[in-house]
């Protein structure tokens, strides 16, 4: 029997998942036991960049070119073809939330998503099922909790009696940043990393708004992640989890 190539192994794993896959799924599905490399995860990341066979849908998500017109509707909605609909904008928002939740899970944080988003889906899974917390921990005053419990994703420290937030994320694909900054402002005196995830073209708007005087005590603690940075962080967290599982 002819030896199957590394690229064919990745293609086979992706075909078995309906023609698309996240990096972490590929790490777990690809049979790399016969690969003569000490870094199969890096090899997989290199292979999916091959535009002959694959294309990138969203940060951390790739598909086979031959499956482009056979993908599920919610996955097709994630493709940025310049013709976004209300459904596709919503699906992209949910996908980005799912990436952030999974990244937090991979790094051992407790993860939270607001009640109104629990029934939104990330690649067929409910966000509420991916997140590890069913409600926001009571780490501060109820008045503050009431204002921040709609933050898109929160990572809480693990291994403590009362989990305290480590990172908070707001996903802004199509709206301005004012509501997000107002939520973050409630945490301006907390040692919490605050991150906005948005398309790169919105960075100028982000910078203009965060420089408003009302946010002067907030702006030093807020970071802007475009989709490339979201992908880089996911790849880093997935690689860390891969190394913990296989080495």
Furthest CA-CA distance within the chain: 69
Contact 71, 19 (CB under 8 A): yes
Instruction: Write out pLDDT tens, residues 173-185.
Output: 877 899 999 999 9
Q: Which domains are assigned to the chain? A: 6-71 (1.10.10.10), 86-235 (no CATH)
Of residues 170, 233, 236, the one with CA closest to residue 206: 170
SS3 199: coil
| pLDDT tens profile 14-65 | 999 999 999 888 988 998 888 888 888 889 999 999 999 999 999 889 999 9
What predicted TM-score, i.e. pTM, was given to this entire model?
0.90
Mean pLDDT across 72-84: 82
């Amino acid at each position: 029997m002819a030896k199957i190539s590394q690229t064919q192994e990745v293609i086979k794993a992706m075909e078995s998942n309906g023609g698309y896959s996240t990096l972490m799924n590929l790490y777990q599905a690809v049979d790399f036991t016969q690969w003569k490399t000490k870094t199969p995860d890096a090899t997989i990341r290199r292979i999916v960049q091959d535009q002959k066979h694959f294309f990138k849908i969203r940060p951390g998500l790739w598909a086979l070119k031959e499956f482009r017109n056979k993908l599920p509707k919610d996955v097709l909605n994630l493709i940025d073809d310049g013709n976004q609909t209300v459904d596709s904008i919503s699906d992209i928002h949910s996908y980005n939330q799912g990436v952030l939740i999974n990244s937090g899970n991979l790094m051992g944080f407790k993860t939270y998503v607001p009640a109104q988003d629990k029934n939104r889906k990330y690649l067929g899974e409910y966000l509420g099922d991916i997140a590890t917390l069913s409600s926001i921990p009571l780490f501060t005053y109820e008045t503050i909790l009431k204002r921040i419990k709609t933050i898109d994703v929160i990572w809480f420290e693990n291994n403590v009696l009362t989990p305290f937030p480590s990172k908070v994320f707001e996903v802004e694909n199509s709206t301005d940043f004012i509501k997000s900054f107002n939520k973050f402002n409630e945490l301006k005196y907390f040692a919490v990393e605050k991150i906005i995830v948005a398309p790169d073209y919105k960075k100028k708007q982000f910078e203009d708004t965060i420089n408003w005087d009302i946010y002067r005590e907030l702006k030093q603690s807020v970071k802007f992640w475009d989709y490339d940075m979201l992908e880089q962080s996911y790849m880093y967290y997935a690689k860390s989890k891969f190394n913990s599982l296989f080495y």
